[in-house]
Amino acid sequence: MSNYNKITNTKVLVTGGAGFIGSNLCEDLLKTNNQVVCLDNFSTGRMENIQSFLDNKNFTLITGDIRSLDDCHKAMQGVQIVLQQAALGSVPRSLNDPITTNEVNVGGFLNVLVAARDAKVKRVVYAASSSTYGDSESLPKVEDIIGKPLSPYAVTKYVNELYAHVFGLNYGLDCIGLRYFNVYGRRQDPNGAYAAVIPKFTMQLMAHESPQINGDGTNSRDFTYIDNVIQMNNLAALTTNPEATGQIFNTAVGERADLNWMTRLLKKYLSEYDAEIAKIQTIHGSARLGDIPHSLASIEKAETLLGYKPTHTLENGLKEAVDWYWKNLK
Protein backbone atom coordinates (compact mmCIF):
# COMPACT_ATOMS: atom_id res chain seq x y z
CA MET A 1 0.00 0.00 0.00
CA SER A 2 1.19 3.50 -0.74
CA ASN A 3 2.50 5.66 2.06
CA TYR A 4 0.85 8.88 0.86
CA ASN A 5 -2.69 10.19 1.15
CA LYS A 6 -5.02 9.06 -1.58
CA ILE A 7 -8.29 10.46 -2.92
CA THR A 8 -11.15 8.50 -1.31
CA ASN A 9 -14.97 8.63 -1.35
CA THR A 10 -14.99 11.43 -3.92
CA LYS A 11 -16.56 11.93 -7.34
CA VAL A 12 -13.65 12.40 -9.73
CA LEU A 13 -13.66 13.15 -13.46
CA VAL A 14 -10.73 11.80 -15.43
CA THR A 15 -10.67 13.34 -18.91
CA GLY A 16 -8.82 11.11 -21.34
CA GLY A 17 -9.56 8.30 -18.90
CA ALA A 18 -9.16 5.56 -21.52
CA GLY A 19 -5.63 6.66 -22.35
CA PHE A 20 -2.40 5.32 -20.91
CA ILE A 21 -2.11 7.70 -17.94
CA GLY A 22 -5.86 8.26 -17.58
CA SER A 23 -6.73 4.57 -17.32
CA ASN A 24 -4.05 4.03 -14.67
CA LEU A 25 -5.56 6.93 -12.70
CA CYS A 26 -9.06 5.47 -13.08
CA GLU A 27 -7.85 2.09 -11.81
CA ASP A 28 -6.13 3.68 -8.83
CA LEU A 29 -9.19 5.78 -7.95
CA LEU A 30 -11.55 2.79 -8.11
CA LYS A 31 -9.41 0.94 -5.55
CA THR A 32 -10.08 3.66 -2.96
CA ASN A 33 -13.86 3.83 -3.22
CA ASN A 34 -14.24 6.84 -5.50
CA GLN A 35 -16.95 7.45 -8.06
CA VAL A 36 -15.01 7.76 -11.30
CA VAL A 37 -16.29 9.44 -14.44
CA CYS A 38 -14.20 8.80 -17.55
CA LEU A 39 -14.60 11.16 -20.51
CA ASP A 40 -12.85 10.00 -23.69
CA ASN A 41 -13.39 10.24 -27.45
CA PHE A 42 -11.13 7.23 -28.16
CA SER A 43 -8.94 9.08 -30.63
CA THR A 44 -5.87 7.84 -28.77
CA GLY A 45 -7.51 6.15 -25.76
CA ARG A 46 -8.39 2.46 -26.04
CA MET A 47 -11.41 0.52 -24.86
CA GLU A 48 -9.22 -2.38 -23.66
CA ASN A 49 -7.58 0.01 -21.17
CA ILE A 50 -10.86 0.42 -19.30
CA GLN A 51 -12.65 -2.85 -20.18
CA SER A 52 -12.16 -4.28 -16.68
CA PHE A 53 -13.80 -1.21 -15.07
CA LEU A 54 -17.03 -1.24 -17.10
CA ASP A 55 -18.86 -3.59 -14.70
CA ASN A 56 -17.83 -1.54 -11.66
CA LYS A 57 -20.83 0.35 -10.27
CA ASN A 58 -18.52 3.23 -9.32
CA PHE A 59 -17.31 3.73 -12.90
CA THR A 60 -19.13 5.79 -15.53
CA LEU A 61 -17.91 6.06 -19.12
CA ILE A 62 -18.97 9.08 -21.15
CA THR A 63 -17.93 8.80 -24.77
CA GLY A 64 -17.44 12.43 -25.65
CA ASP A 65 -14.92 15.07 -26.63
CA ILE A 66 -13.39 17.92 -24.65
CA ARG A 67 -13.80 20.00 -27.83
CA SER A 68 -17.54 19.94 -27.01
CA LEU A 69 -18.48 22.24 -24.13
CA ASP A 70 -21.76 20.28 -23.76
CA ASP A 71 -19.81 17.04 -23.25
CA CYS A 72 -17.64 18.74 -20.64
CA HIS A 73 -20.66 20.11 -18.78
CA LYS A 74 -22.32 16.68 -18.84
CA ALA A 75 -19.19 14.98 -17.47
CA MET A 76 -18.76 17.54 -14.66
CA GLN A 77 -22.12 16.96 -12.93
CA GLY A 78 -21.55 16.49 -9.21
CA VAL A 79 -17.79 16.20 -9.68
CA GLN A 80 -15.47 17.46 -6.93
CA ILE A 81 -12.04 16.84 -8.47
CA VAL A 82 -10.99 16.86 -12.13
CA LEU A 83 -7.85 15.07 -13.33
CA GLN A 84 -7.47 16.60 -16.79
CA GLN A 85 -5.43 14.19 -18.94
CA ALA A 86 -7.19 14.54 -22.29
CA ALA A 87 -4.82 15.84 -24.95
CA LEU A 88 -3.17 14.99 -28.22
CA GLY A 89 0.37 14.14 -27.18
CA SER A 90 3.48 13.81 -29.33
CA VAL A 91 5.79 16.46 -30.74
CA PRO A 92 5.91 14.84 -34.23
CA ARG A 93 2.10 14.66 -34.39
CA SER A 94 1.89 18.38 -33.61
CA LEU A 95 4.41 19.18 -36.33
CA ASN A 96 2.38 17.15 -38.85
CA ASP A 97 -1.00 18.55 -37.74
CA PRO A 98 -0.69 21.67 -35.60
CA ILE A 99 -4.34 22.65 -36.12
CA THR A 100 -5.90 19.54 -34.53
CA THR A 101 -3.31 19.58 -31.73
CA ASN A 102 -4.31 23.17 -30.95
CA GLU A 103 -8.07 22.47 -31.16
CA VAL A 104 -7.81 19.64 -28.63
CA ASN A 105 -5.06 20.90 -26.34
CA VAL A 106 -6.06 24.57 -26.21
CA GLY A 107 -9.75 24.75 -27.20
CA GLY A 108 -10.56 21.51 -25.40
CA PHE A 109 -8.63 22.51 -22.29
CA LEU A 110 -10.48 25.82 -22.18
CA ASN A 111 -13.81 23.96 -22.31
CA VAL A 112 -12.71 21.79 -19.37
CA LEU A 113 -11.85 24.89 -17.33
CA VAL A 114 -15.13 26.64 -18.18
CA ALA A 115 -17.18 23.54 -17.31
CA ALA A 116 -15.20 23.05 -14.07
CA ARG A 117 -15.80 26.68 -13.13
CA ASP A 118 -19.53 26.36 -13.89
CA ALA A 119 -19.81 23.11 -11.89
CA LYS A 120 -17.90 24.69 -8.97
CA VAL A 121 -15.45 21.80 -8.72
CA LYS A 122 -12.99 21.96 -5.83
CA ARG A 123 -9.82 21.45 -7.84
CA VAL A 124 -8.52 20.77 -11.33
CA VAL A 125 -5.23 18.89 -11.57
CA TYR A 126 -4.04 19.04 -15.17
CA ALA A 127 -1.35 17.36 -17.21
CA ALA A 128 1.24 19.91 -18.24
CA SER A 129 4.45 18.95 -20.04
CA SER A 130 8.22 19.14 -19.76
CA SER A 131 8.15 20.29 -23.40
CA THR A 132 7.29 23.73 -21.97
CA TYR A 133 10.98 24.15 -21.05
CA GLY A 134 11.71 24.49 -24.77
CA ASP A 135 15.12 25.89 -25.62
CA SER A 136 16.09 26.64 -22.03
CA GLU A 137 19.44 24.90 -21.57
CA SER A 138 19.67 25.07 -17.77
CA LEU A 139 19.66 21.71 -15.98
CA PRO A 140 17.99 20.54 -13.88
CA LYS A 141 14.73 22.12 -15.03
CA VAL A 142 13.27 24.37 -12.35
CA GLU A 143 9.59 25.31 -12.67
CA ASP A 144 10.01 29.08 -12.98
CA ILE A 145 12.75 29.06 -15.64
CA ILE A 146 11.44 28.15 -19.08
CA GLY A 147 12.62 28.90 -22.61
CA LYS A 148 10.82 29.36 -25.91
CA PRO A 149 8.74 26.37 -27.10
CA LEU A 150 10.22 24.22 -29.88
CA SER A 151 7.03 22.61 -31.23
CA PRO A 152 3.30 23.31 -31.65
CA TYR A 153 2.66 20.71 -28.92
CA ALA A 154 4.89 22.63 -26.50
CA VAL A 155 3.04 25.87 -27.33
CA THR A 156 -0.30 24.26 -26.49
CA LYS A 157 0.90 22.89 -23.16
CA TYR A 158 2.33 26.27 -22.18
CA VAL A 159 -0.98 27.93 -23.09
CA ASN A 160 -2.70 25.47 -20.71
CA GLU A 161 -0.59 26.80 -17.85
CA LEU A 162 -1.44 30.39 -18.77
CA TYR A 163 -5.17 29.65 -18.96
CA ALA A 164 -5.13 27.79 -15.63
CA HIS A 165 -3.41 30.79 -14.03
CA VAL A 166 -5.97 33.21 -15.49
CA PHE A 167 -8.91 31.06 -14.34
CA GLY A 168 -7.45 30.99 -10.83
CA LEU A 169 -7.00 34.76 -10.87
CA ASN A 170 -10.37 35.74 -12.30
CA TYR A 171 -12.78 32.98 -11.29
CA GLY A 172 -11.11 31.48 -8.23
CA LEU A 173 -10.81 28.09 -9.96
CA ASP A 174 -8.27 26.04 -8.02
CA CYS A 175 -5.83 24.53 -10.54
CA ILE A 176 -2.53 22.68 -10.13
CA GLY A 177 -0.40 21.74 -13.14
CA LEU A 178 1.88 18.72 -13.35
CA ARG A 179 4.70 18.93 -15.89
CA TYR A 180 5.10 15.31 -16.86
CA PHE A 181 8.56 14.11 -17.87
CA ASN A 182 8.63 11.13 -20.28
CA VAL A 183 6.06 8.95 -18.56
CA TYR A 184 6.14 5.20 -19.24
CA GLY A 185 4.62 2.01 -17.84
CA ARG A 186 1.77 -0.47 -18.11
CA ARG A 187 -0.85 0.15 -20.81
CA GLN A 188 1.30 2.58 -22.80
CA ASP A 189 0.54 1.95 -26.47
CA PRO A 190 3.52 0.42 -28.30
CA ASN A 191 1.95 0.77 -31.75
CA GLY A 192 1.42 3.57 -34.25
CA ALA A 193 3.48 6.36 -35.72
CA TYR A 194 3.66 8.31 -32.46
CA ALA A 195 4.42 5.50 -30.02
CA ALA A 196 6.70 6.48 -27.13
CA VAL A 197 10.22 5.12 -27.17
CA ILE A 198 10.06 2.62 -24.27
CA PRO A 199 6.99 0.58 -25.36
CA LYS A 200 8.05 0.79 -29.02
CA PHE A 201 11.58 -0.51 -28.33
CA THR A 202 10.18 -3.19 -25.99
CA MET A 203 7.90 -4.57 -28.71
CA GLN A 204 10.68 -4.43 -31.32
CA LEU A 205 13.08 -6.32 -29.06
CA MET A 206 10.45 -8.92 -28.20
CA ALA A 207 10.01 -9.44 -31.96
CA HIS A 208 13.83 -9.71 -32.37
CA GLU A 209 13.96 -6.46 -34.37
CA SER A 210 16.68 -3.84 -33.96
CA PRO A 211 15.40 -0.65 -32.26
CA GLN A 212 16.45 2.59 -33.95
CA ILE A 213 17.62 5.47 -31.79
CA ASN A 214 17.24 8.97 -33.26
CA GLY A 215 20.71 10.51 -33.15
CA ASP A 216 23.75 9.11 -31.35
CA GLY A 217 21.85 8.04 -28.24
CA THR A 218 23.40 10.60 -25.91
CA ASN A 219 20.12 12.52 -25.66
CA SER A 220 18.92 12.05 -22.10
CA ARG A 221 15.51 12.00 -20.43
CA ASP A 222 14.09 11.96 -16.93
CA PHE A 223 12.03 8.80 -17.52
CA THR A 224 9.11 8.75 -15.09
CA TYR A 225 7.26 5.57 -14.14
CA ILE A 226 3.46 5.68 -14.09
CA ASP A 227 3.27 5.02 -10.31
CA ASN A 228 5.16 8.27 -9.64
CA VAL A 229 2.59 10.10 -11.79
CA ILE A 230 -0.31 8.51 -9.89
CA GLN A 231 1.28 9.65 -6.63
CA MET A 232 1.64 13.24 -7.88
CA ASN A 233 -1.99 13.39 -9.04
CA ASN A 234 -3.17 12.24 -5.61
CA LEU A 235 -0.92 14.67 -3.75
CA ALA A 236 -1.89 17.61 -5.97
CA ALA A 237 -5.60 16.79 -5.70
CA LEU A 238 -5.53 16.61 -1.91
CA THR A 239 -2.98 19.20 -0.82
CA THR A 240 -4.20 21.82 1.63
CA ASN A 241 -0.92 23.74 1.47
CA PRO A 242 -1.89 27.28 0.36
CA GLU A 243 1.56 27.67 -1.24
CA ALA A 244 0.83 24.75 -3.58
CA THR A 245 -2.47 25.92 -5.08
CA GLY A 246 -2.23 27.55 -8.47
CA GLN A 247 1.28 26.17 -8.89
CA ILE A 248 3.05 24.03 -11.49
CA PHE A 249 5.09 21.00 -10.42
CA ASN A 250 7.64 18.90 -12.22
CA THR A 251 6.50 15.28 -12.18
CA ALA A 252 9.61 13.21 -12.58
CA VAL A 253 12.32 11.28 -10.74
CA GLY A 254 15.11 13.85 -10.71
CA GLU A 255 17.51 11.51 -12.52
CA ARG A 256 18.35 11.30 -16.20
CA ALA A 257 19.35 8.42 -18.42
CA ASP A 258 20.55 8.63 -22.00
CA LEU A 259 18.82 6.58 -24.68
CA ASN A 260 21.78 4.21 -25.04
CA TRP A 261 21.65 3.31 -21.35
CA MET A 262 17.85 2.98 -21.33
CA THR A 263 18.05 0.61 -24.33
CA ARG A 264 20.76 -1.50 -22.65
CA LEU A 265 18.58 -1.81 -19.53
CA LEU A 266 15.59 -2.85 -21.66
CA LYS A 267 17.65 -5.56 -23.35
CA LYS A 268 18.95 -6.77 -19.99
CA TYR A 269 15.46 -7.13 -18.47
CA LEU A 270 13.91 -8.66 -21.61
CA SER A 271 16.75 -11.15 -22.01
CA GLU A 272 15.71 -12.64 -18.66
CA TYR A 273 12.65 -13.90 -20.57
CA ASP A 274 14.41 -14.56 -23.89
CA ALA A 275 18.22 -14.87 -23.94
CA GLU A 276 18.40 -14.09 -27.69
CA ILE A 277 17.35 -10.48 -27.03
CA ALA A 278 20.73 -9.70 -25.45
CA LYS A 279 22.38 -10.16 -28.88
CA ILE A 280 20.17 -7.74 -30.80
CA GLN A 281 22.05 -4.72 -32.17
CA THR A 282 20.75 -1.17 -31.82
CA ILE A 283 20.84 1.05 -34.90
CA HIS A 284 21.09 4.83 -35.07
CA GLY A 285 19.12 7.17 -37.33
CA SER A 286 19.06 10.94 -37.75
CA ALA A 287 18.07 13.23 -34.88
CA ARG A 288 14.39 14.20 -34.67
CA LEU A 289 12.94 17.65 -35.36
CA GLY A 290 11.70 19.60 -32.34
CA ASP A 291 13.45 17.33 -29.84
CA ILE A 292 15.21 18.76 -26.82
CA PRO A 293 18.64 17.18 -26.25
CA HIS A 294 18.50 16.78 -22.48
CA SER A 295 15.76 16.70 -19.93
CA LEU A 296 16.22 16.51 -16.17
CA ALA A 297 13.78 17.77 -13.57
CA SER A 298 14.33 19.34 -10.22
CA ILE A 299 11.68 17.73 -8.00
CA GLU A 300 12.51 19.90 -5.01
CA LYS A 301 9.36 21.99 -5.27
CA ALA A 302 7.12 18.89 -5.33
CA GLU A 303 9.04 17.37 -2.43
CA THR A 304 8.81 20.56 -0.37
CA LEU A 305 5.23 21.68 -1.05
CA LEU A 306 3.47 18.36 -1.74
CA GLY A 307 5.58 15.82 0.16
CA TYR A 308 6.36 13.91 -3.05
CA LYS A 309 8.71 10.91 -2.79
CA PRO A 310 9.16 9.02 -6.05
CA THR A 311 8.91 5.26 -5.51
CA HIS A 312 10.37 4.21 -8.87
CA THR A 313 13.69 4.98 -10.54
CA LEU A 314 14.34 3.97 -14.15
CA GLU A 315 15.76 0.62 -13.01
CA ASN A 316 12.84 -0.66 -10.95
CA GLY A 317 10.20 1.11 -13.08
CA LEU A 318 11.54 -0.35 -16.32
CA LYS A 319 11.69 -3.81 -14.75
CA GLU A 320 7.99 -3.58 -13.82
CA ALA A 321 7.08 -2.18 -17.25
CA VAL A 322 8.95 -4.97 -19.06
CA ASP A 323 7.23 -7.61 -16.91
CA TRP A 324 3.83 -6.11 -17.79
CA TYR A 325 4.57 -5.99 -21.53
CA TRP A 326 5.90 -9.53 -21.58
CA LYS A 327 2.86 -10.92 -19.77
CA ASN A 328 0.24 -8.87 -21.61
CA LEU A 329 1.54 -8.26 -25.12
CA LYS A 330 3.90 -11.12 -25.96
Active site residues: 153
Nearest in space to 211 (alpha carbons), one of 256, 153, 265: 265
Computed from CA positions of residues 45, 97, 13, 4, in that sequence, does the dihedral angle turn out positive or negative?
positive
The total of other beta-carbon atoms located within 10 Å of residue 310's CB is 21
Task: Report the distance separating Cα 83 and Cα 232, nearest Å.
Answer: 11
Secondary structure of residue 320 in the 3-state scheme: helix
* Distance in angstroms (rounded) separating the CA atoms of residues 45 and 59: 16
Residue 174 · residue 244 · CB < 8 Å: no
CA–CA distance, 58 with 73 (Å, rounded to integer): 19
How many helices (H) and strands (E) the chain has is answered by 12, 13
Q: What 8-state DSSP symbol labels residue 141?
A: B
Q: Rounded to the nearest 5°, which phi and psi values hold at 109?
A: -60, -40
